[in-house]
Structure 1
Amino acid sequence: MGLVSLIWGIVALLWMLLAFIPLLGWGNWFLIPFATVGAIIAAIGLLFTHAGKHGRARAGLLLNGIVIVVGVVRLSLGGGIV
């Protein structure tokens, strides 16, 4: 689960960088739910893995959390359009 959430977070981060391009900000509307699913996968990974193997799940949770926050801020600044 940790590896899946980490890869999911990397894909979400790349998608976020693409959504920074002007006129592609509408991608944030799809990015936020995508990253939320990745954060849920990471949280499940944290719950069901041993204490020594939490690194990938934590990294996935952190990446997806950053993407969600940046996406929400970007949508609020652009009024949800840009």
Structure 2
Amino acid sequence: MKTLCQIISVLIGLFAAFCMVVGIIPLLGALQWPVLVFCVAGIIFGVFPERKIGLTINIAVGIVALVRLILGGGAL
């Protein structure tokens, strides 16, 4: 079960990272809001396994997405 949680967390983190990179393009900043939701889901799955790679990916992506939202005023 822990291995499955780790795989799910990493996959969610990679998907969120891809969406975050797309959301860095000007006028697509609102895409960061769903990225934060995916990051929270990935963090929840990433807490359970012993190896924390999924947790690390999701926290890093979440921080970058949050900074992008703050710099863009929440939408742009």
TM-score above 0.5: yes
Q: Is the 8 A contact 2:32 2:65 kept in 1?
A: yes
TM-score, length-scaled by structure 1: 0.81
- Report the AA paired with residue 60 of structure 1: G
The 4+ residue runs of structure 1 with deviation greater than 3 A are: none
- Report the AA paired with residue 12 of structure 2: W
TM-aligned CA deviation for residue 44 of structure 1: 2.4
TM-score, length-scaled by structure 2: 0.87
Structure 1 CA distance, aligned partners of 2:11 and 2:75?
28
Larger fraction in helix: 1
TM-aligned CA deviation for residue 15 of structure 1: 0.8
> What is residue 42 of structure 1 aligned with on the other side?
46
Segments of 5+ residues of structure 1 without an aligned counterpart are 47-53
> What is residue 37 of structure 2 aligned with on the other side?
33
Q: Give RMSD over aligned pairs.
A: 1.0
Which structure has the larger Rg over C-alpha atoms? 1
- Report the AA paired with residue 68 of structure 1: G
Q: Answer yes or no: is 1:16 the counterpart of 2:20.
A: yes
- In structure 2, the residue corresponding to 1:79 is in which secondary structure? coil
Q: Would you say how many aligned residue pairs link Structure 1 and Structure 2? A: 72
Identity %: 35
